[in-house]
Amino acid sequence: MNCYRFSRQLVCSLVLLTMFIWGSFIGCGCNATPATESTKEYTGTNLLVRLNFKPLSDKMPNSHNDTPALIDLGRKLFFEKRISMNKSRSCNNCHRLDHKGAGVDNQPTSKGARGISGKRNSPTVLNAGFQVAQFWDGRAADLVEQAKGALTSPTEMALRSEKDVTSRLNRSADYRKRFALAFPGQAEPVTFDNVARAIAAFERTLITPSRFDRYLNGEEEAISINEKAGLDRFVETGCIECHNGKTVGGGSLQKLGVYHPYEYNSDTGRYKITGLKEDRFVFKVCMLRNVTLTSPYFHDGRISTLSEAVRQMAWMQLDIELAPHEIDDIIRFLHTLEA
């Protein structure tokens, strides 16, 4: 049996089992409180919700040594255009944080310092440090490695070498002072590694809790009855197979097109990194935190609306044809993930 189909069937079985156990508990009179009108419809999937989702932590992994001076330096570097080839681009151009941006530029693909658009959509930097890896193909283990890759990428910042980065920053007395404060005790603190470490430290502060976190923490009224119905639909459809954890995704790499191929399949994903047949069309699972604000969708940015993204994912990954009202249900839940 196909492992993905088996996984989906297992999820559905667990839903039914949970409903049976809960129903038996309610019926046995063991000091049970009768379900209220606002909650009785949702007890069936409640256990699966608690098992598959966790509230966002107030700290990201690897942030225990991040000092205020290091974070302040990273914030300045994130908006610094001098670390691009022609001093025209900063991290913020593709991952907008100004004007209440959701960490993206809302373009299918982004233009780098040379004016050339990349081949993949720029993902959000919000909550990014919670993910299992960085970049769509997972080639960077963490935020530090991701920052290094962007600085010298010919389609992003396009600087020729690590030395180009540090020499530009060393010309600034302000930056020399900031690096000395952020990396005390180092004779020459303005290094390529330290640039990436500082940017990563700032990005580790970009944590955006939502109403869904309040719900997970026990505040039942944080999301509406219709949004809870959308959560039920999300669970029962099988979306939780991949979209789970603190960031509702971002915790694994999976094949795009398990049952039905993606229409635009020229990008073979992780296969370009590993050369392994099993990695063809494998991409990192997208986080769904703030997904209602980060259009367009998919690794190539070809899908312009969230409803179409939900429809295609259910069809390609789960072999399910969702009706329009079912898609609307899921999107209502996704709105609870907005910061």
Residue 44 has pLDDT above 80, yes or no: no
| Structural contact between residues 190 and 180, judged by C-beta atoms closer than 8 angstroms | no
How confident is the model at residue 46, as a pLDDT? 83
Residue 112's nearest CA partner among 75, 149, 167 is: 149
CB 333 within 8 A of CB 233: yes
Q: Report pLDDT for 172.
A: 98
| Residue 205 clears pLDDT 60, i.e. is over it | yes
How far, rounded to the nearest angstrom, does the alpha carbon of residue 159 sit from its chain's CA centroid? 27
Give CA separation, 199 vs 79, 90, 274, 287, in Å.
10, 12, 27, 21
Nearest to 85 by CA among 150, 172, 144: 150
Mean of all residue pLDDT scores within the chain: 90
Q: Given pLDDT bands bounded at 50, 70 and 90, which one contains residue 45?
A: low
CB 123 within 8 A of CB 104: yes
**How far is it, in rounded angstroms, from Cα 179 to Cα 187?**
11
Among 48-52, 261-265, 315-319, the minimum mean pLDDT is found in 48-52
Tokens of 211: 């109403």
Model confidence at 15: pLDDT above 70 = no
Stretch (H or E) spanning 45: helix 43-52
Phi, psi for residue 337 in degrees, rounded to 5: -90, 0
- Please, what is the end-to-end C-alpha distance for the chain in angstroms? 40
Which pLDDT band holds residue 130 (cuts at 50, 70, 90)? very high
The rounded percent of the chain whose pLDDT value lies above 70 is: 87
Model pTM above 0.85: yes
φ, ψ of residue 245 to 5 degrees: the values are: 80, -165
335 pLDDT exceeds 70? yes
* Measured CA angle at 82 (ends 112, 150), to 5 deg: 40
Beta bridge partners of 42: none
Contact (CB, 8 A) for 155 and 112: yes
Contact by Cβ (8 Å): 249, 285: yes
- Dist. CA 316–CA 241, nearest whole Å: 14
Residue 5's pLDDT band, with cuts at 50, 70 and 90, is very low
DSSP state of 291: G
Q: Which residues pair with 269 in a beta bridge?
A: 282
| Residue 37 pLDDT > 90 | no
In the chain the domains, ranked by start, together with CATH numbers, are 68-203 (1.10.760.10), 209-337 (1.10.760.10)
Q: How confident is the model at residue 30 (pLDDT cuts 50, 70, 90)?
A: very low
- Whether the CB-CB separation of 304 and 219 falls below 8 Å is answered with no
CB 265 within 8 A of CB 259: no
Average of per-residue pLDDT across 298-323: 98
pLDDT tops 80 at residue 148 = yes
Of 42-56, 177-191, 204-218, 313-327, the least confident: 42-56
When pLDDT is cut at 50, 70 and 90, the band that residue 47 belongs to is: confident
Task: Report yes or no: 253 and 133 within 8 Å, Cβ to Cβ.
Answer: yes
Average confidence (pLDDT) over 107-113:
97
pLDDT of the residue at 6: 41
297 forms beta bridges with 303
Q: Is the pLDDT of residue 31 over 90?
A: no
Q: Which DSSP string do the residues of 292-331 spell out, in sequence order? A: GGS-SBSTT--B--HHHHHHHHHHHHH-----HHHHHHHH
Closest C-alpha among 207, 280, 275 to residue 246:
207
Hey, which residues are catalytic here?
156
Distance (Å, whole) CA 153 – CA 15: 46
- The answer, yes or no, to whether residue 154 has pLDDT greater than 60, is yes
Euclidean distance between CA atoms 210 and 131, whole angstroms: 17
